[in-house]
Amino acid sequence: MTVQLNHTIVHARDHRESAEFLAGILGLEVGTPWGPFIPVATGNGVTLDFASIPAESIVMQHYAFLLPDEEFDAALARIEADGVEYFADPQMRLPGEINRHHGGRGLYFLDPAGHGMEIITRPYGSH
C-alpha cells in the first residue's frame, strides 16, 4: 500500500471563518461539519479539518497548495478582490508581489488564525 496523507487538523479561532476563507480563496467547497470539525477537501483527497481552539493555543503552521496556472490566476484574483495582503516571500517582506521559483509562480498570505498559506504552480525542485 502506498502511504497517503488523508487529513490534518487546522487550529483556528473560528473554524467556520477559517474554513470559508480558505475555501473561498482556493475555489473549494466547505464540507458538512463533523463533530467539532469543518472540513475542506482538496483535489487530491486530503481534507483540512478546521477546529476552533482558544486563540492563545494556536501555533502558526504553514500550508502549501499546488494549483494549475489557471486556478492560481483565479485564486490571485479572489485574493486581490477580497483585499487579502499577499507576499512573494515567506518572510513577508515583498508585499503585493508573486515569486517565480522553480519555473512557476507562488505567493504567501495569512489566514484568519495567522497560519501561513502558500499557493504555487510548480512543486519545489521541479525546474
pLDDT for 7-17, tens place per residue? 999 999 999 99
| Long-range Cβ contact pairs of 104-112 (< 8 A, separation 24 or more) | 104/69, 105/69, 105/72, 107/76, 107/79, 109/25, 109/79, 109/84, 109/85, 110/85, 111/12, 111/18, 111/21, 111/22, 112/12, 112/13, 112/14, 112/17, 112/18, 112/21
pLDDT for 49-84, tens place per residue? 999 999 999 999 999 999 999 999 999 999 999 999
pLDDT for 85-117, tens place per residue? 999 999 999 999 999 999 999 999 999 999 999
pTM, 2 dp: 0.95
> What domains are there in the chain, each with its CATH number?
7-120 (3.10.180.10)
Task: Identify the pLDDT of residue 96.
Answer: 98
